[in-house]
Amino acid sequence: MPAAPPSAIALVVAGLVCQEGGASIAVLLFPEVGPLGMVMLRLVFSALVLLLIARPRLRGHDAGAWRAVAAFGLVLATMNGLFYLALERLPLGVTVTIEVLGPLVLSIVASRRASAWLWAGLAFAGVIALGGGGWDRLDVLGVVFALGAATTWALYILASARVGAEFPRLDGLALAMSIGVLVSLPFGVTDAGAALLRPEILGLGAAVALLSSTLPYAFELIALRRLPAPTFATLMALGPATAALAGWILLGQHLAWLELAGIALVIAASIGAVRAAGRRTGVEPVG
């Protein structure tokens, strides 16, 4: 396998840093707009950027394609909503670690190898270790929201594949994001209220969309052209560590050493699972 270009690795890492930086800004905005208001702002600005770039065609798609894109939009809005509701109650690193369990389970199922049980056991040990600093520190409802985000992330991956087969380029994602906006609109307006009339709030909402969606996606697309798929998947598995670091630096969220060990175990399980799935299918899952 050819060596991975350092510049491509830097792009993936930069995407992870942007993503968790955007999540940190979102947490800081929760007192102003609430988690569901933040979801709406992120989806609105992300959809605007995607629509401008993709300019999707509305004609030439059958009912099945529209059902697929509608389901994708619903999953996308639900995933973001559950993630931000979890972030309101849990540290950023813990939330992302639990959320990663969704694609991790999907990779384990896809691998169909005996070693998959090893990665499943390692991930389970990681989740147990997350409570090592005291389960009383983990808000039960926050954990439920994070597990819901994990489930919808797995559904997001499946829905994305279906829409990618039905729509060219970024058309399906742009349309699904627009549907996600419609789904999130009533919840977001109710949660944020009059704060949506403040220009600085709208500006920060645009910044979250740029950092959390636009820049990471662009960086990943560029990196994927120059990185072997296994290397890309391994780098993406470092998301929980990036989240924990961002939570510590930007939000002052300190984790106990057992919680950090739990994050490390889940990262190791994610790397092992995606590589096992890639060996089985010949195509490495990329998130």
Q: How confident is the model at residue 1 (pLDDT cuts 50, 70, 90)?
A: very low
| Per-position DSSP letters for 80-104, written without gaps between them | HHHHHHHHTTS-HHHHHHHHTHHHH
Q: Quick: pLDDT tens for 216-240.
A: 988 887 887 787 777 777 888 889 9
Mean pLDDT of 150-175: 89
Closest by Cα among 275, 273, 243 to 260: 243
Q: Which of residues 133 and 189 earns the better pLDDT score?
A: 189
Q: How confident is the model at residue 135 (pLDDT cuts 50, 70, 90)?
A: low
pLDDT, position 185: 96
| Per-position DSSP letters for 113-126, written without gaps between them | STTHHHHHHHHHHH
Q: 36 and 190 in contact (C-beta within 8 Å)?
A: yes
Q: 78 and 151 in contact (C-beta within 8 Å)?
A: no
Closest by Cα among 103, 138, 97, 131 to 240: 97
Mean pLDDT of 167-191: 92
Side-chain-facing half-sphere of 48: CA atoms under 13 Å: 9
Please report the sign of the dihedral spanned by the C-alpha atoms of residue 78, residue 82, residue 88, residue 93.
negative
How do the domains of the chain map onto residue ranges?
A: 6-281
Q: Quick: pLDDT tens for 32-44.
A: 999 999 999 999 9
Q: Find the length of the chain.
A: 287
Q: How confident is the model at residue 84 (pLDDT cuts 50, 70, 90)?
A: very high
Q: Quick: pLDDT tens for 250-287.
A: 999 988 888 888 899 999 988 887 776 654 433 333 33
Q: How confident is the model at residue 113 (pLDDT cuts 50, 70, 90)?
A: confident
d(CA 2, CA 108): 26
Mean pLDDT of 137-145: 89
Q: How confident is the model at residue 90 (pLDDT cuts 50, 70, 90)?
A: very high
Phi-psi region of 86 (alpha: psi -120 to 50; beta: other; left: phi over 0): alpha
pLDDT, position 278: 57
pLDDT, position 247: 93
